[in-house]
Chain A
């Protein structure tokens, strides 16, 4: 294998799929599903790269990782050097390699995607990150020169961590304020252990701490601190508080015991570890029970697969459109199916039924797809008279979140969009308040980890400009609040 392969030879190679835990075993285990590459597998997969002159994968990455370069280094066995290339653009590769929707980003733009065999960029990124972590490589050292400027970051989810990582590298003082008792945001309360082990999140956060980032937990900005206090004590503030209030179905019966928001269900299990003996947080018993999950995104997949692991007898995902419109990562849908999750498409709940305050069943309306809506997806519409009633013991609502009012209600001068999210200049993350930046779900509404990280990094670049020149100019005026 020492002779370089020709392009023709490379194109004949099959994509190296990651080793996965057996579906039967994992349906009752919170251990990680994907087991990673061996060194040999990583090298084989990296060798398939056609080394395009103008790599489209790089353009497809929201944070612009030099994918072609790091893959070349993996093929050469230079894993440490590959990690350095990745870390120039992404300080959290072990997380992104696991949770990015690569099929819509780098891998979707890979020239081999046309043949449905794109380079497994996510797998390779994860391999490199896991390798350097297990080998105890140091994080890229922060610049020795401290600038004496300080930045407060509100929220320790993907946007805040990415922003903090860039700013600490530039020599600024960075403090991250987290409302919960543990940093990580959605990475710790939302995404389950079997998809993103919490030890990995802890290690990535510990890496940022080593570089000098300070984390303050139990700090709810808008309550424990005001935005004004943070502005007075810092040269800039970044708001990355994520999505907030979970949406409910707005159908009768939604307050029955047995109806959870996905946020609550996942927080009880992931952050509070309700599934482990010796933890005091309870979660409703689903052993042998019937569970339905409403929604078609990654959160719905996470909730369904979590219920399965807690011992549910029968788990159904109910989605009002079809599989083609599901926003979930393809791998998550496949994994869910392998684990025995059932999918019912083109159904929408109209009522939840209960007895003595407990959920016992639901009625669903059958739907069909009509004309495309604003999102370009065909709009589901009810088929008159087609209702079905069935029994269930637990329902998890995973249909998205609205913005959290806690911070916003305490600073009315911060302009918002008609959806209640923070209005920003998209290229820079600058808000209507000089010195205040925002990014992630609090700006876009529910999106992905990597998009939030991209927004955190764009804001970091813009924060650098602001710290250097103190000029507050917006390319696009933030959209004003509509009454």
Chain B
């Protein structure tokens, strides 16, 4: 059992958790994730670790309540327990001194991008963090990103905050005005695909952090397989970061919908239960 030290909603249905997991905190590096199970009947889901503090043994997670499991998790409060936390899994991000690096985060993907921004900044890069959301309340972690020394460009789809429009528009501007060595992207699949499409003609090395469905997260099941340049690779052990110019994003998007109907039913049942509990 893993104790939640603190938890707070930071945006609608987006919750920040501080969880006691000393072994994970000890070994975690930017880019790595954990597999989590909320309770004994729960499914195993991957979640990127946003930060870890070795001294206190605490890891930071950001959870967007989309399906039953993430909504169930978001009902947990400080002092509650999570059944299982296993990790850190996946290969760490390749952090080097690239020069100018752009990190693009969309929605809760900003939480995935945050540790990469911090690590790149610490490694002496000039980092531009482009973070986007549907509207102002979905722009996450702006002050935290600024605290790393990165230049932050916030965008909203509806123009309610920062620069109006998609993150890709901001990315185009940065590319045209700066000498960008590398781009990292984390967020919804269409956003990552769009980022890859923007950087491809400029031949800028671009890394995407993929988010396929996983079960064990240790290479045993192959459920997370992705097509990268015509090769079938496992995101859990070969990734989760891959060359975005080689990733078959439509395949990833399609495979992520494999359980859509079942998940929809589970969510509806869960919400009905919650309503009964509340009444």
Q: Are A282 and B216 in contact (CB under 8 A)?
A: no
Q: Are A272 and B258 in contact (CB under 8 A)?
A: no
Q: Which residue of B lies closest to A261 (CB)?
A: B222
Please tell me if B146 contacts chain A, counting CB pairs below 8 Å. no
- Among B23, B69, B219, B254, chain A packs the most CB atoms within 10 A around the CB of B219
Within 8 A of A (CB), among B250-279: 251, 254-255, 257-259, 262-263, 266
Q: Give A387-411 as 1s and 0s: 1 = Cβ < 8 Å from B's Cβ atoms.
A: 0000000000000000011100000
Q: Are A263 and B227 in contact (CB under 8 A)?
A: no
Within 8 A of A (CB), among B13-67: 23-24, 27, 37, 41-44
Given contacts A224-B23, A245-B237, A257-B258, whether A268 and B215 have CB atoms under 8 Å apart is yes
Cross-interface CB contact of A272 among B44, B83, B255, cutoff 8 Å: B44
Complex CA gap A226/B234 in Å reads 22
Given contacts A219-B23, A223-B88, whether A280 and B42 have CB atoms under 8 Å apart is yes
Cross-interface CB contact of A282 among B41, B83, B218, B262, cutoff 8 Å: B262
Complex CA gap A245/B234 in Å reads 9
Q: Are A406 and B258 in contact (CB under 8 A)?
A: no
Cross-interface CB contact of A264 among B222, B255, B257, cutoff 8 Å: B222
Interface residue tally for chain B (C-beta within 8 Å): 39
Chain A residue numbers with a CB within 8 Å of B251 are 255, 357
Q: How far is the CB of A361 from chain B (nearest CB, A)?
A: 18
Complex CA gap A349/B76 in Å reads 47
Q: Are B220 and A218 in contact (CB under 8 A)?
A: no
Please tell me if A181 contacts chain B, counting CB pairs below 8 Å. yes
Within 8 A of B (CB), among A219-268: 219-220, 223-226, 244-246, 248, 254-255, 257, 260-261, 263-264, 267-268
Within 8 A of B (CB), among A337-380: 356-357
Given contacts A219-B23, A357-B251, whether A406 and B215 have CB atoms under 8 Å apart is no
Q: Are A278 and B41 in contact (CB under 8 A)?
A: yes
Please tell me if B116 contacts chain A, counting CB pairs below 8 Å. no
Complex CA gap A465/B197 in Å reads 61
Given contacts A224-B86, A282-B262, whether A272 and B23 have CB atoms under 8 Å apart is no
Complex CA gap A282/B215 in Å reads 10
Within 8 A of A (CB), among B194-230: 215-216, 218-223, 225, 227
Please tell me if B232 contacts chain A, counting CB pairs below 8 Å. yes
Given contacts A181-B84, A264-B215, A267-B215, whether A281 and B222 have CB atoms under 8 Å apart is no
Q: Are A245 and B37 in contact (CB under 8 A)?
A: no
Cross-interface CB contact of A406 among B23, B85, B218, B257, cutoff 8 Å: B218
Please tell me if B89 contacts chain A, counting CB pairs below 8 Å. yes
Given contacts A179-B216, A264-B215, whether A280 and B69 have CB atoms under 8 Å apart is yes
Cross-interface CB contact of A255 among B37, B44, B225, cutoff 8 Å: B225
Q: Are A179 and B218 in contact (CB under 8 A)?
A: yes
Cross-interface CB contact of A225 among B23, B232, B254, cutoff 8 Å: B23
Q: Which residue of A lies closest to B220 (CB)?
A: A263
Please tell me if B87 contacts chain A, counting CB pairs below 8 Å. yes
Chain A residue numbers with a CB within 8 Å of B88 are 223-224
Please tell me if B245 contacts chain A, counting CB pairs below 8 Å. no
Q: Give A173-217 as 1s and 0s: 1 = Cβ < 8 Å from B's Cβ atoms.
A: 000000111000000010000000000000000000000000001
Chain B residue numbers with a CB within 8 Å of A267 are 215-216, 220-221
Please tell me if B68 contacts chain A, counting CB pairs below 8 Å. yes
- The bracket for how many chain A residues form the interface is 35 or more
Q: How far is the CB of A356 from chain B (nearest CB, A)?
A: 8
Given contacts A404-B218, A406-B218, whether A272 and B254 have CB atoms under 8 Å apart is no
Q: Are B232 and A217 in contact (CB under 8 A)?
A: no
Complex CA gap A282/B45 in Å reads 12
Given contacts A181-B37, A282-B43, whether A406 and B86 have CB atoms under 8 Å apart is no
Q: Give the dominant DSSP class at B's interface.
A: mixed
Complex CA gap A224/B21 in Å reads 10
Q: How far is the CB of A223 from chain B (nearest CB, A)?
A: 6
Complex CA gap A255/B42 in Å reads 26
Q: Are A280 and B232 in contact (CB under 8 A)?
A: no
Q: Which residue of B lies closest to A178 (CB)?
A: B86
Chain A residue numbers with a CB within 8 Å of B85 are 218
Q: Are B27 and A223 in contact (CB under 8 A)?
A: yes
Q: Are B262 and A254 in contact (CB under 8 A)?
A: no
Please tell me if A35 contacts chain B, counting CB pairs below 8 Å. no
Q: How far is the CB of B61 from chain A (nearest CB, A)?
A: 15
Within 8 A of B (CB), among A436-468: none
Q: Are B43 and A280 in contact (CB under 8 A)?
A: yes
Q: How far is the CB of A246 from chain B (nearest CB, A)?
A: 5
Q: Which residue of A lies closest to B89 (CB)?
A: A223
Nearest 8 interchain pairs by C-beta = A264-B221, A357-B254, A218-B86, A281-B43, A261-B222, A280-B43, A282-B262, A282-B259
- Knowing that A181-B83, A245-B219, A405-B219 touch, tell me 20 more A-B residue pairs with CB under 8 angstroms: A179-B218, A181-B37, A181-B44, A217-B84, A224-B86, A224-B88, A225-B27, A245-B222, A245-B234, A248-B225, A257-B255, A257-B257, A261-B223, A263-B222, A267-B216, A267-B221, A272-B44, A280-B68, A356-B254, A357-B255
A-B contact pairs, 18 of them (CB 8 A): A181-B83, A220-B89, A223-B27, A223-B87, A223-B89, A224-B87, A225-B23, A245-B220, A248-B225, A263-B222, A267-B216, A272-B44, A279-B43, A280-B42, A282-B43, A357-B254, A357-B255, A406-B219
Please list the residues of chain A having a beta carbon within 8 angstroms of any beta carbon in chain B. 179-181, 189, 217-220, 223-226, 244-246, 248, 254-255, 257, 260-261, 263-264, 267-268, 272-273, 278-282, 284-285, 356-357, 404-406
Please list the residues of chain B having a beta carbon within 8 angstroms of any beta carbon in chain A. 23-24, 27, 37, 41-44, 68-69, 83-89, 215-216, 218-223, 225, 227, 232, 234, 237, 251, 254-255, 257-259, 262-263, 266
